[in-house]
Structure 1
């Protein structure tokens, strides 16, 4: 089983954090988004993971590439770095990993996480991960027949046709067939109104030629597109993994209360604090005289006399003050 993860986008809705770190490497409960995604896919797949292709912008840099290769290794796969410097849509992005489009294949866009209770049935031609949503008009949706086979793909329907939204994760029994259809779009210059080559057009062509797609329905779909969504996803993940060991053994704690679930990384100091619930704290962070709830604090922070919630602090941030809702990028000082 190969996995292809397009992640070359700049994540503009999560700025200022994505000015210094690609969005898929933002931490959720102590691990990068993309690592959570790969681990969740591995749980759904019974097959051994072979190659995991990360499609990135070339200017992400060596440190990012090394991190991605370690993530692949952590789930037993071989990491492959692929580059997409020009952005021409989802179909174009996937083709940047053309050497991996072989045999059983999962394509997963790295801005979404999920909770699922099913096991991937690799005997199916194709599986499209979906979830029921309250407002289908904001999403691409699928329509099913009585045999639970997908009959239609509809992009942002104005009238109700289905409430099963496509979440951006796909299984293909034949990566070669997907490769052929993606190349067909490029070779024949079949673009959408924005001038981009889209995966959904290839899926429709495959369906017309006999590929039977079925839904893989997830129990929860978690978005990491902006600050509020990312904070909420961090909260939900802490709830998922609350029975795991989440606090490092070397925590230095003085006159402080931790209200679980909370993630605390290595070499963290707490003094005169109330932390939690739903807080993630990165390594080498010092927090004193503070009350913090429902927030993500990245690494090497220095926080004093603070009272906040529903917030994200970047790496190497110095902060003092009170707020209910903010987002501070790396290397900033606010006092």
Structure 2
């Protein structure tokens, strides 16, 4: 790989007389007080839409209290991601801003992922003594350009970064006025010091969801030394929430689609008068159900907000101090004194719930989310050629897409409010259709968040942390898409409650035999408390027979630990000379980077399950996973299993048959067979331990054993398609399925037979232990071959 590097290049601006901020801008910065800044601590979430109204992505801004070098400051995180003309693109800004709106540290990242190359711009800004250090990396295809620039702080009076600009605009929006001649310093896209101005656009009416709201407009213009100036028009609600944002000349707009909960009318204390209208009982019950669902959702959001209220925090801290000093015999009696201080009924309920963490058996979980990591096309290569036609997470296992088993398990968990899929697949028709159908079936919001690149199991969730934390979940599950399990999610929640600490994290573990355990993440636990004492990912020697199942229960505190790793990676990046340091800063692995560090600190616990579990890495493991799920259908979905009926095929064991399949009554199916949509099976056909995909045809007296028959493939009369099963050792209760290498000693490893899409097998031909790529017309028998 060729790399064009500009390293060690330091351009000092000390001797250059540059632009200056105006007196009005400096006076404005001095006039801002802490109360105004405290009113800016909230989150915005907008949709990115095209000029035709088509949804393209999302835009979020979050401002929170933080500490930097033990000093109070504000943490600003803004993230815009989406796809324009099917080209993924995005911008993210993460910064620490002082109470005087000085930029202490900022990371700025822009990317556009084209089909043949990546255009990527990253900049890291940090204060070092009396200077501002800016590191810049621009990647285009295989060329990497690095530049380091230093600016003396004495020349940056009135400097505004992208992050501090977000705070300034919120303050201006709340003041509803912009002083004349307010000119600040900033950086343009080429890292030149230039000028930035603000101008009022007045007030107007704008639709926010179904409501017409009054908004105040601000135009921000950034000059450029080498290019034309750039301008943005932003409109804000009265409390500073962003209602819309557009760059002048851009075809896309960020729009607020729902009025924030904090907004309220002037007549909020007046009781609304509703027209009483008699309804038939069916309508009445339906309206009641919708009302209760909405009420519970709002209560969950409000409860999270109230818990962050400083008065409630002080009250809880006072109560804890009392317990430490007085050590009363009965804690619950003493709670009554503090309950009286909270007069509002709803606040009392929340206070009581929080105190249950101290006085009762465990914490109360009022809101949950789930994140499913689905990877991308560069992952799951062992699943080819099946993943050529459909993303691996959507491959049907036991008659339904692999992901549906995860979603179904999550939907059964009480207080589950949203499911997020994170991966780097391009948005496609199959994924969109699946999400739409799953939302309708399970009545739960499901969204796909696309990474701009593979960021690792920890980097992806950290990149989208604002989306995960939106609404204030108390905890959330992380699940890898390529696992097959009974998903004991309620048991994991109960396990966490038993330990009585809402800040604990839980790994789902199971037992493997000694040899196979080294292929997984290995966990050493305290057998009494189940705390994780030591964690090693895929060790070279035996460590433990408890392995990581790829399913986790986290609380929001996990992002502090991931953020520590991210900041460390960034600091290392500033010091190292290698050009791939930027990429390593964003790639974070939960297993190697987080679990290894948390082990032995009293934060990480393992819940061991004896229920079924398996990875789905290869096509052979899909048949084994199908068997496990078909067995589970006996107690969860018996209606999905075929039965022997008059005039129907003979069923042996667990078999799934889609209603649209056409099967001759003389066929014999099972055990462990899944028949997809539109499949045709002729007379005398025998199918066992196999998956037959959509539109396939098995002509009379053909035989399919231990195989996957691809979409629209045809197997001729009296043909035989057979593979070698790759099941775990049935005599070892802890054995797992082996992910065999494709070749061993120069020969193809015997495994199941796979026919890709639209493969034609002629009559009286035998295909044994072979992989046939899509769109092949065979004319003879094959054994132990890959047919290209």
Tell me whether the two structures share a fold, i.e. TM-score over 0.5.
Answer: yes
Tell me: CA distance 1:218–1:52, structure 2 relative to 1, closer, same or farther (3 Å): farther
Superposition pairs for residues 13-92 of structure 1, below 5 Å?
13-43=382-412, 45=413, 47-92=414-459
Residue of 526, 529, 548 corresponding to 1:166: 548
Q: What residue is the counterpart of 1:267 in the other structure? A: 660
Bigger drift between 128-137 and 69-78 goes to: 69-78
Query: 1:317 aligned to 709, 713, 717, which one?
Result: 713
- SS where residue 284 of structure 1 aligns? coil
Match of residue 329, structure 1, among 737, 740, 756: 756
Tell me by how many angstroms 1:322 deviates: 0.4
Aligned match for 1:137, one of 509, 512, 518: 518
Task: Say which is worse superposed, 261-270 or 58-67, in terms of deviation.
Answer: 58-67
Does the 8 A contact of 2:372 with 2:478 survive in 1? yes
Contact 1:127/1:215 (8 A) holds in 2: yes
Q: State the partner residue of 1:287.
A: 681
Distance 1:69 1:166, change over 3 A: farther
Instruction: Quote how far apart the aligned CAs of 1:265 are.
Output: 0.4
In structure 2, C-alpha distance between the alignment counterparts of 1:83 and 1:322, rounded to whole Å: 42
**Most deviating of 306-315 and 103-112:** 306-315
Alpha-carbon distance in 2 for matches of 1:159, 1:327: 34
Q: Distance in 1 between matches of 2:423 and 2:759?
A: 27
User: 1:105 maps to which residue?
Assistant: 476
Confirm or deny: 8 A CA contact 1:116 1:217 kept in the other structure.
Answer: no
Identify if the C-alpha distance between structure 1 residues 269 and 215 changes in structure 2 by more than 3 Å, giving closer, same or farther: same
Deviations 1:111-149 (A, max 9, x none): 001136662225352210111001221111111113221
* TM-score relative to the length of structure 1: 0.88
Scaled by the length of structure 2, the TM-score of the pair is 0.39
Q: Distance in 1 between matches of 2:517 and 2:600?
A: 24
- Residue among 622, 637, 647 paired with 1:230: 622
CA gap 1:147/1:13 in 2 versus in 1, 3 angstroms: same
Q: CA RMSD in A?
A: 2.8
Q: Aligned partners of 1:34 and 1:315: how far apart in 2?
A: 19
Question: Which whole-Å CA distance do the structure 1 matches of 2:600 and 2:532 have between them?
Answer: 11
Is contact 1:82-1:96 (8 Å) kept? no
1:247 and 1:264 in contact (8 A); partners too: yes
- 1:310-334 CA-partner distances (Å, limit 9, x unpaired): 1112222222220212111223322
| Deviation at residue 187 of structure 1 after TM alignment | 3.2
Given candidates 469, 485, 509, the residue that maps to 1:114 is 485
Contact 1:273 1:287 in 2 (8 A): yes
Give the C-alpha shift of residue 64 in structure 1. Answer: 0.8
Pick which of 310-319 and 19-28 moved more.
310-319
Kindly indicate whether the alpha-carbon contact (under 8 Å) linking 1:149 and 1:213 is maintained by their aligned counterparts in 2: yes
How far does residue 93 in structure 1 lie from its aligned partner after superposition?
A: 2.4
Is 1:277 matched up with 2:685?
no
TM-aligned CA distance change 1:323 to 1:30, over 3 Å: same
Contact conserved, 2:411 with 2:442, CA < 8 A, in 1?
Answer: yes
Structure 2 residue aligned with 1:150: 532
2-side partners of 1:60 and 1:316: how far apart?
24
- Give the aligned partner of residue 189 of structure 1: 569
C-alpha distance in 1, partners of 2:544/2:641?
43
Q: Distance in 2 between matches of 1:160 and 1:111?
A: 24
Q: Which 10-residue stretch deviates more, 273-282 or 149-158?
A: 149-158
- Alpha-carbon displacement from aligned partner over 1:69-121 (angstroms, at most 9, x marks no partner): 43245334211110023113221222343211443100001000113666222
**How many residues in Structure 1 have an aligned counterpart in Structure 2?**
330
How far has the Cα of 1:253 moved from its partner?
8.6
1: CA distance, partners of 2:682 / 2:672: 18
**Mapped partners of 1:92, 1:241: distance in 2:** 35
Distance 1:203 1:223 in 2: 20
- Superposed displacement of residue 150, structure 1: 1.2
In structure 2, the CA distance between the partners of 1:69 and 1:131, relative to structure 1 (3 Å rule), is farther
Cα distance in 2 between the residues matched to 1:239 and 1:212 = 32
Q: Which string of whole-angstrom CA distances, capped at 9 and with x for unpartnered residues, describes residues 142-194 of structure 1? A: 1111322111111223333311100100001x22x222322333333279x99
Using the alignment, how far apart are the partners of 1:73 and 1:218 within structure 2? 32
Q: Deviations over 1:11-66 (max 9, x none)?
A: 211111101111111111111111112223445x4x32111001133424133123
- Secondary structure of the structure 2 residue equivalent to 1:245: helix
1:70–1:185 CA distance, 2 compared to 1 (3 A)? farther
Distance 2:479 2:455 in 1: 17
Out of 177-186 and 283-292, give the one that drifted further.
177-186
Inter-partner Cα distance in structure 2 for 1:206 and 1:65: 37
Deviation per CA, 1:254-276, whole angstroms, max 9, x where unpaired?
67322231000022111231111
Unpaired segments of 5 or more residues in structure 1? Answer: none
> Are the structure 2 counterparts of residues 274 and 16 from structure 1 closer, same or farther at C-alpha, using a change threshold of 3 Å?
same
For 1:212 and 1:292, locate their aligned partners in 2 and report how far apart those are by CA, in whole Å: 46
**Per the alignment, do residues 156 and 248 of structure 1 end up closer, same or farther by CA in structure 2, a change over 3 Å counting?**
closer
CA contact (8 A) 2:711 2:758 kept: yes
Give the whole-Å Cα distance in 2 for the aligned partners of 1:255 and 1:207: 56
1:307 aligns with 2:700: no
